[in-house]
Structure 1
């Protein structure tokens, strides 16, 4: 795969290195074949906002808010 390497400053060929930590797993990392700079691709994590929602109501003219 060809990607832009920040270290080389050019478009270079990137390959996935062999995983040493988990031999059966596929490494998400990509390394530049020219200089060895790595791009670490992290999984996407969805963070949910756990704060309670605030309900805003519009008060009609002439009425007081409850």
Structure 2
């Protein structure tokens, strides 16, 4: 992945971010990046969503008596 330019929320501008030394063995694929100016950390990771599907009859809304 290497260095990349991202918006830093601390510096409030586009800054270069670099991959820090990773102790988890990710090397250049580490999801953590550091701003080269202020040192703010940015985490990059894929977002996975789960969609719940109802099978059969949909639940009915309750009615007041």
TM-score normalized by structure 1? 0.63
Which runs of 5 or more structure 2 residues have no equivalent in the other structure?
Answer: 59-65
| Mapped partners of 1:49, 1:8: distance in 2 | 40
In proportion to residue count, which structure has more strand? 2
Choose from 3, 7, 12 the match for 1:4. 7
Which runs of 5 or more structure 1 residues have no equivalent in the other structure?
Answer: 56-66
Q: For the pair shown, which has the larger CA radius of gyration, 1 or 2?
A: 1
Name segments (4+ residues, structure 1) moved above 6 Å: none
Aligned residues: 53
In proportion to residue count, which structure has more helix? 2
TM-score normalized by structure 2? 0.64
Q: Which residue of 2 aligns with 1:35?
A: 38
